[in-house]
């Protein structure tokens, strides 16, 4: 997807990807190759990407062993990685943080989230029935909680300490909106460019 001559290449693992995520990355100068849900890290790596993306998707993240293994390999190599929704949960599982089925899932386009790094509130679009364990996340020395859902205080975003890896539980690509969280795509591209400069 996108222009083959684009300055940035992204390998995207498709576990239910939305086209507007791809559009948002293309809009920011990325060329993306989308890989099937059961792809191995070596297959993604063969594309020689500058960064990796694990997509959104439906259902329970725990059975997605192949996706968790891909995430573990990316993390082990300290490569840029962004996860959205189901991808966020896969990233948590790859770090030994469990997930659980929520009593009431988050569905809708008006969910309030607080960015703990900036102190700003965001109105977000959400569509998920599973969440990551907050206590385990707080106790994980490698993980920092970056976003919380203000209605029920569930974890809405995390990043890894000392690695270019982060994820959010909600949908920054939501169309027709809200667009409060589109900055996350800019953040990902900035991380990829920075990582590319360091390695070149």
User: Which residues make Cβ contacts (< 8 Å) with residue 63, sequence separation at least 6?
Assistant: none
Bridge partners of residue 99, in order along the sequence? 132
85 is catalytic: yes
Q: How far, in Å, are 9, 33, 85, 144 from residue 53 at the CA level?
A: 11, 10, 11, 19
Q: Count CB atoms within 10 A of the CB of residue 162.
A: 8
Catalytic pick among 43, 62, 85, 111: 85
CB 130 within 8 A of CB 100: yes
Catalytic pick among 62, 171, 179, 190: 171
Catalytic pick among 122, 147, 149, 173: 173
Query: Tokens at residue 20, please?
Result: 């507007």
What does R_g of the chain's alpha carbons equal in angstroms?
15
**Among all residues, which ones are annotated catalytic?**
85, 171, 173
């Amino acid at each position: 997807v996108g222009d083959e001559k684009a300055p940035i290449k992204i390998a995207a693992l498709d576990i239910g990807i939305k086209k507007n995520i791809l559009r948002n990355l293309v809009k920011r100068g990325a060329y993306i190759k989308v890989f099937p849900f059961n792809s191995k890290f070596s297959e993604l790596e063969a594309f020689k990407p500058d960064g990796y993306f694990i997509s959104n998707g439906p259902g329970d993240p725990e059975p997605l062993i192949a996706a968790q293994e891909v995430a573990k390999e990316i993390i082990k190599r300290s490569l840029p990685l962004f996860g959205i929704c189901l991808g966020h949960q896969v990233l948590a599982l790859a770090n030994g943080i469990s997930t659980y089925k929520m009593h009431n899932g988050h569905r809708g386009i008006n969910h309030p989230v607080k960015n703990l790094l900036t102190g700003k509130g965001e109105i977000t679009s959400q569509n998920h029935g599973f969440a990551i364990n907050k206590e385990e996340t707080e106790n994980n020395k490698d993980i920092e909680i970056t976003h919380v859902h203000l209605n029920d205080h569930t974890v809405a975003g995390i990043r890894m300490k000392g690695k270019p890896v982060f994820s959010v539980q909600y949908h920054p690509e939501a169309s027709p909106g809200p667009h409060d969280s589109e900055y996350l795509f800019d953040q990902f591209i900035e991380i990829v460019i920075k990582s590319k400069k360091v390695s070149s």
